[in-house]
Amino acid sequence: MIVIRLTRVGKKNSPAYRVVVADKRRAVKRKFIEILGNYNPTRNPKELVINKERAFFWMERGAQPSPTIRNLMADAGVLSKSDKVNIVYGKEKSKKAIKEDAGKKPEIKTEEPTEPTETTSEQTEESKTE
């Protein structure tokens, strides 16, 4: 199976990535078929350069973009926003933690609206004379 994924390049503590087409069974830092572009998350704003024509060519041939690439391409406008994948990283909550969260009531803070004070021209003149 062919995938479109990121391959890390760059120095230590300054990551940069290549967007590559590779066989899924290959290691991430090993052989790839073609470089489609690059992604630099350390720049402000983040920089994504991708060859749209080649990406669509490979997707027509059956290449599946990784979830990260799918989200980056959706943000860049290559794919539609509806194609974004909701990824949740970290540990899943245990059943006990889920039950505890369900029992708690969320705190809702509401502020009472203050009524605006109306000042007339007569009140402002009186305050000026005093």
Q: Does residue 32 sit within a domain?
A: yes
- C-beta separation of 3 from 67 below 8 A: no
E strands of 10-128, at which residues? Answer: 16-23, 34-40, 47-50, 64-65
Q: Is the pLDDT of residue 2 over 60?
A: yes
Give start and end residues of each alpha helix (H) in the chain.
52-60, 67-76, 95-103, 121-129
Rounded to an integer, what distance in angstroms lies between the CA atom of residue 72 and that of residue 12? Answer: 23
Residue 42 sits in a domain whose CATH number is 3.30.1320.10
Q: Does residue 114 sit within a domain?
A: no
Total domains in the chain come to 1
Range of the domain at 9: 2-83
Q: Is the pLDDT of residue 91 over 50?
A: yes
Higher per-residue confidence, 79 vs 3: 3
Q: What is the pLDDT of residues 5-40, one digit of tens each?
A: 999 998 999 999 999 999 887 777 778 899 999 999
Rounded to an integer, what distance in angstroms lies between the CA atom of residue 73 and that of residue 39? Answer: 11
Q: What is the pLDDT of residues 103-121, one digit of tens each?
A: 654 444 445 556 665 655 5
Name the residue type at position 29: K
Q: Does residue 24 sit within a domain?
A: yes
Q: Does residue 54 sit within a domain?
A: yes
